[in-house]
Amino acid sequence: MRTHLQKLADHESLTLAEMMDAAEYLFSDKVSDSEIAAFLMGLKTKGETTEEMSGLVSILREKAHQLHNVPVGVMDNCGTGGDGSHSFNISTTAAFVIAGAGIPVAKHGNRSVSSRTGSADVLENLGVSLQLSMQQTEEILEDNGIAFLFAPSIHPSLKRVMKIRNELKIPTMFNLIGPLTNPVTLDTQLVGIYRRDMLEKMAMALHQLGRRRGITVNGAGYMDEASLAGENHLVLVDDGELIPFKLSPEDVDLPQYDNEEIIGGNAADNASILKSVLKGESGAYRDTVILNAALGIFASGKARNVHEAIRLAKESIDSGAAIGKLEYLIDYSRQAERKVI
């Protein structure tokens, strides 16, 4: 590990093989907490490469608990966090809308690290269990079309690293690679990134990790979600081809809102917002979810363009399909708890 730390200190990037070797140490008991912190800060200061991201993700996924029976065409939508916007849980809400449109979603997430409320925090507040077995998760994904994969349960090797990330309280490479560590072999993925300079690198990482299609997005105001405040920067991954494009609210006939209008709060506040959107309440929260869900639907290939995807996202909410997916998760969690008792 010292060799890798010295290379980072000299502002040199690690090769794919070097990063995989460093990751083996990172998730072992052979390194100290200070070495782990130094490694994360060394990567952040130097600037992360696609090879470093792919190498770290490869080792993490090898060590993760696996889901073996998953639906065809399964996807994930997740932001990196770290944008400091204090927005509500946009991607978590959008996941139910995507699933309601008929696209299976293996939603991978965690408690808050650099944001105020993580996906796990808001779902737990709604009554979704974070303690389900892998077999139960597979069953939910098959029957409901959306399941939640709680990162600490999926990635036991991350326990020490998570402790250090919580102590650092700043975005690190783990914010960037978090969305990539889903142990499910995904067909497609939507990834929001708080750093615009990493859009193409993240898109290339999606391709290297076997995604057939995907979209990376940095929103107006440098959010890690698509925003209706102005121009969004995106990269479409289509069978290995990277296609950069930009998208503004007027391009897809949606209203413009300042990012201050989509600020959230604690887990209870954000749970209330999530439910209000899925129940059809109009306004900035709903329209922002519609845009992000539409990007996921477009990324999956179910819609030919974003306009068509927006129509499907609206139908998912207005038909009750989206909230039905959430209600299934809550009911399943209650029944699972009763069996334990």
Q: What one-character-per-residue DSSP string does 168-188 give?
A: H-S--HHHHHGGGG-SS--SE
Per residue in 89-122, pLDDT (tens digit) is: 999 999 999 999 999 999 999 887 656 788 999 9
pLDDT of residue 340: 64
Mean pLDDT, range 157-173, rounded to an integer: 87
Second CATH level (architecture) for the domain 75-329: 3-Layer(aba) Sandwich (3.40)
SS3 75: strand
| 118 marked among binding-site residues | no
Share of the chain above pLDDT 70, in %: 99
SS3 27: coil
H/E stretch holding 312 reads helix 306-318
Share of the chain above pLDDT 90, in %: 83
Per residue in 273-311, pLDDT (tens digit) is: 999 999 999 999 999 999 999 999 999 999 999 999 999
CA 298, CA 313: separation in Å to the nearest integer?
10
| 32 marked among binding-site residues | no
pTM equals 0.93
Evaluate if residue 259 carries a pLDDT over 90. Answer: yes
Mean of per-residue pLDDT scores for the chain: 94
Per residue in 25-68, pLDDT (tens digit) is: 999 999 999 999 999 999 999 999 999 999 999 999 999 998 88
* CATH 3.40.1030.10 segments of the chain: 75-329
Residues near 323 by Cβ (< 8 Å), separated by ≥ 6? 96, 100, 275, 278, 279, 317
CA 309, CA 295: separation in Å to the nearest integer?
7
pLDDT of residue 175: 81
| 153 marked among binding-site residues | no
Mean pLDDT, range 247-252, rounded to an integer: 97
- What does the longest C-alpha to C-alpha distance in the chain come to? 57
| 108 marked among binding-site residues | yes
| 327 marked among binding-site residues | no
Residues near 263 by Cβ (< 8 Å), separated by ≥ 6? 85, 86, 87, 88
125-154: buried (b, 16+ CB within 10 Å) or exposed (e) per residue? bbebbbebebeebbebbeebbbbbbbbebb
| 91 marked among binding-site residues | yes
| 111 marked among binding-site residues | yes
| 90 marked among binding-site residues | yes
Evaluate if residue 338 carries a pLDDT over 90. Answer: no
